[in-house]
Amino acid sequence: MTATPAPTAPAPFATRESGGRGGTLLLPAVMRSEWTKLRSVRSTIWSLFATFVITVGFGALFCLAYVSRYDRLGLRERLTFDPTAQSLRGIFLAQLAIGVLGVLVISAEYATGLIRPTLTAVPQRRTVLAAKAIVFGVVALVVTEVGVFAAFAAGQAVLAGKNLGVGIGDPHVLRAVLGAGVYLTIIGLLGLALATIIRRTAGAIATLVGLVLIAPLLAQALPSPWNSDVTKFLPTGVSTGLGAALFGVRPDSSRFSPGVALLLLVAWVVVGFAVAAFTISRRDA
């Protein structure tokens, strides 16, 4: 009598990797797994909380400082004042918090070795990377948009003491506030891409800080017009950088228009994830 071999259970997600209707279920399944991992890690809550508090708190403090010194300011400084940008000053530090979280989304798994069972369960490594990027990107966008709108409201409430506040319906204001949240999300995604490439938390954070904060300072040391020509291509909210163009209200001929700045920021992310997808597929876990 010939024994019939017992059917073996498929590996996780294995039934969804082939073509046809089942193949479309792989990415949502991995996204659910990534969402569970993201919300169950304590550093996620603290990083998102820090991003929100820094965005709102520092924005309000900078507005308060401006109001307290307003009567002593010169005419030129008063005429060039941007109330929207002032209330969003907290982005300068908040980008570090959201960027570090983006790094930790995958570098923490490399550090603990949990990336091995993840890639064993889902051999399609690019699908894992895509799921991480989508889940993290959506969470980051929601939190940062709430944060920048809260920062704008708090800042304008402070500036109203000197009749300096603006409304969300004023020209270019809504676009600038929305752009601030998009910028922070892009910085977080860049952190995720860099961590996938470098696979070390410290190295990825150092690279992100160098790209967002140090590179613009080095570019400013160049003679004119090289300083502004270089800075305006960098993914930073400093001076004429792409972030400053995205959430600035006042027109500035030394930087790109908001639409062009957004396209270039997206290009940074696309290039970053293209390299990340190549490296995660070629190297061992």
Q: pLDDT tens across 220-271, in order?
A: 888 888 888 899 999 998 878 999 999 888 877 888 999 999 999 999 999 9
193 within domain boundaries: yes
For range 65-82, the mean pLDDT = 87
Domain count, the chain: 1
Comparing 14-18, 61-65, 276-280, which segment has the lowest mean pLDDT?
Answer: 14-18
Q: Specify the pLDDT at position 285.
A: 65
Q: Is residue 14 part of a domain?
A: no
Q: What whole-number percentage of the chain has pLDDT above 90? A: 66
Structural domain of 122: 27-282
Q: What is the pLDDT of residues 106-149, one digit of tens each?
A: 999 999 998 999 898 889 999 999 999 999 999 999 999 999 99
Asked if residue 2 is part of any domain, the answer here is: no
Look at the pTM and tell me if it is higher than 0.85: yes
Distance in angstroms (rounded) separating the CA atoms of residues 208 and 8: 45
| Band of pLDDT at residue 9, cut at 50, 70 and 90 | very low
Q: Is residue 18 part of a domain?
A: no
Is residue 181 situated within a structural domain? Answer: yes
Q: Report if residue 124 sits inside a domain.
A: yes
Residue 275 lies in a domain: yes
The verdict on residue 127 lying in a domain is yes
The answer, yes or no, to whether residue 14 has pLDDT greater than 50, is no
Least confident of 71-75, 82-86, 229-233, 257-261: 71-75
Band of the pLDDT at 78, cuts 50, 70, 90?
Answer: confident
Residues of the chain with pLDDT > 70, as a percent, come to 91
Mean pLDDT of 95-103: 95
pLDDT of residue 127: 94
What is the model's pLDDT at position 5?
A: 45
